[in-house]
Amino acid sequence: MSDDNFVPDSGGGPDSVTEVTTTGWLRRIGQSFVGALFGILLVIGSIVLLWWNEGRAVEAITALNRGASQVVEAKADAVDPGNDGKLVHLSGAATIKAPARDDAFGVGGGELLRLKRTAEMFQWTEEKSTTTHKNPGGSETKETTYSYRKEWSAQPVDSGHFREANGHHNPPMPIRSQTFDSSDARLGPYRIDRTLLDEVSAFTAYDPRATNLPAGYRKSGDVLYQGESDSAPAIGDIRIRYTAVPAQSISFVAAQNGGGVLAPYRGGDGYKIALAETGFVQAAAMFNDKAHEESIITWILRAVGFVLMLIGLALMASPLSVLVGVIPLFERIVGAGACLLALIVAVPLTLLVIAAAWIAHRPVIGVGLILAAIALAFALRRLHRPPPAAQTHFLPEGMLR
């Protein structure tokens, strides 16, 4: 006999549907052990992610420090063949021979380095919310509500996967977001490679002066619109906005290839250096900005690794709470204890993996961190220990420890 009872309920409102599902205790025990196995995989995955991330961080720091020490200052008014193959820094006014353009809508041209089209369609979206109730005897009841609303989205939403597809159908999205780059951008006599142009990200709002709009589209303010009314959109309506990077002064740190081509630089370790900032920016400042960006990425990935480890450990402990789930209060108490235990284990284990990775990639720093941590722990212990005089005054000598 199945442990699950499924009861659909449409009482969530005209644009929502609620499902009520009850799972028996034996089924929950089996699911918890499956979850524990998945938790083991999450913990392993988190360790791999943390280890790889520290290696990536070390590689980035090493490559950026080496690049900052090797970069050559180049002049933007003439190409020096002696710099071919080297990492160079130069600043100057970018010029365009083939401007960025969206031919599908006749937008762009002029002096545009880059042009970004952001297309959105008015669509049905589905939101899912679940509440869980523990029942005497170990069963569990879940109430899942699927809510539907209309909103603009730059990504196509597949309504075929909706829990309640009737009345919530989305048509195919006929146009997508895309970025268009100049095919011939230059900095003085240097030609900027398209892959280096990807690093220029100073996009600003751009009013499209469309010359050949496809049938059904019209201009409404700074938006291209397909539909009856932009003030009362209907499902399937399309709106398109543009942002652009006009030709301006730009600073680059990149490789100078043969023929005066500026392209991403790769050293012996394979790390890519391709720095671009608008304006006249010194090389040292550009390397510092990149190092800061890499630091942010490193900390984000550390946080992701920690969260994955915490979730994995909590899943590994979940069978304990389900086994005592015949009494809901016991399950809540054991579950809270399991979560606390997972947190207590996840914090030092994450730090241990990070420290081990540093020892593997940069032994001197890694060992130094561990020694510093041991010294700090010893110092804290000494601070919390009562003074010797107080110990001998109040306690027999044999009880001091």
In angstroms, the CA 401 to CA 382 distance is 13
176-196 pLDDT, tens digit each = 999 999 999 999 999 999 999
- How high is the pLDDT of residue 356? 84
- How high is the pLDDT of residue 396? 42
CA distances (Å), 73 to each of 31, 251, 284, in order?
62, 11, 11
HSE toward the beta carbon, residue 101, CA cutoff 13 A: 16
- How high is the pLDDT of residue 387? 54
- The pair phi, psi for residue 349, each rounded to 5°, is -65, -40
Residue 196: strand, helix, or coil: helix
Residue 25's nearest CA partner among 147, 180, 173, 139 is 139
Q: Over 50: is that where the pLDDT of 359 sits?
A: yes
Residue 160: strand, helix, or coil: helix
Number of CB atoms found within 10 A of residue 181's CB: 21
Q: Over 90: is that where the pLDDT of 333 sits?
A: no
Q: How far apart are the first and last CA of the chain?
A: 61
83-92 pLDDT, tens digit each = 999 999 999 9
Alpha helix (H) residue ranges in 95-211? 194-197
Q: Are strands 238-246 and 112-134 parallel, antiparallel or unpaired?
A: antiparallel
Average pLDDT, the chain: 86
The amino acid that residue 368 corresponds to is G
Buried residues in 334-352 as b, exposed as e (16+ CB within 10 A): bbeebbeebeebbeebbbe
In angstroms, the CA 266 to CA 260 distance is 17
Whole-prediction pTM value?
0.79
Alpha helix (H) residue ranges in 71-178? none
242-291 pLDDT, tens digit each = 999 999 999 999 999 988 999 999 987 789 999 999 999 999 999 999 99
38-59 pLDDT, tens digit each = 999 999 999 999 999 999 998 9
83-125 pLDDT, tens digit each = 999 999 999 999 999 999 999 999 998 899 999 999 999 999 9
Burial category of 359 from C-beta neighbours within 10 Å (exposed 0-12, middle 13-18, buried 19 and up): middle
The amino acid that residue 370 corresponds to is I
Token readout for 355 is 């420290």
Considering only CA atoms, give the Rg of the chain. 30
288-310 pLDDT, tens digit each = 999 999 999 999 999 999 999 99
Residue 136's nearest CA partner among 329, 328, 324 is 328
Contacts with 261 (C-beta within 8 Å, 6 or more apart), sequence order: 190, 191, 193
Alpha helix (H) residue ranges in 198-327? 283-323
Contacts with 213 (C-beta within 8 Å, 6 or more apart), sequence order: 105, 106, 219, 224
Token readout for 344 is 């207590």
DSSP state at residue 23: E
Token readout for 400 is 């001091």
Q: If pLDDT is split at 50, 70 and 90, which confidence band does 336 have?
A: confident
Give yes or no for a contact between 240 and 224, defined as CB atoms under 8 angstroms apart: yes
4-14 pLDDT, tens digit each = 444 444 444 45
Give yes or no for a contact between 278 and 244, defined as CB atoms under 8 angstroms apart: no
Give yes or no for a contact between 113 and 181, defined as CB atoms under 8 angstroms apart: yes
In angstroms, the CA 187 to CA 191 distance is 6
Strand partners, 123: 151
In angstroms, the CA 12 to CA 130 distance is 12
